[in-house]
Structure 1
Amino acid sequence: MSNPGERPLDYRGQAVVTLRQIDRHNGAAKGTAFRAFKHADIPLVEGRDFFVVPLDRPSDPATESLLLRARQTNAVYSSSRALILLTRHAYARLAAAANLSPL
């Protein structure tokens, strides 16, 4: 990401970004990335292009570590119930479709 403090997280060997990171990267208000994601006119496949990780019940130690890192780097909104992680490729497609800044 262009902001040196914004680094992709690692999720199961893939570089991913959170919606909060996307909002910060674009200097956008909270919820901008979520709305772009929900209303994207591009096919995004869960498990390939994005991942949804519940914040209250990590499925394994690797996921627990990811959530800890996301919280430590302020990459998750405090009101979120789940962390939506987009792969870099999925973000590039979303950015092109929603007129967001590329990574």
Structure 2
Amino acid sequence: MRSTDELLREALFHFTLAVDYANATADDQMAVDAASMRMSAGIETLNRLDPSVRDQLFGGSWPLMWGMRNRIAHGYLLVDPETIRRTAQTDIPWITSVIRDSLA
């Protein structure tokens, strides 16, 4: 069983790459796909946290985060590239900040 810190570091790794990929060329579908997969992987990693820890860190935002993961995983062709880019620019920085604060 992996520790909370190990899971948070793994999630941070995925989210950092997701932002990097999302900031690539605006019309690069491969970059959007890569960002989507890294977002999904980061959220899935956070899902392996103890639920009480996850709730403490992300509270009411967690269902929305898990919904994004489900949208990517189960409706991949329906994920709007602009939604991925906007998520990388507005939501992921907050998530990574929460993770970094927890690791500090």
TM-score (norm 1): 0.33
Query: Which structure dedicates a bigger proportion of its chain to strand?
Result: 1
Query: Which structure dedicates a bigger proportion of its chain to helix?
Result: 2
TM-score (norm 2): 0.33
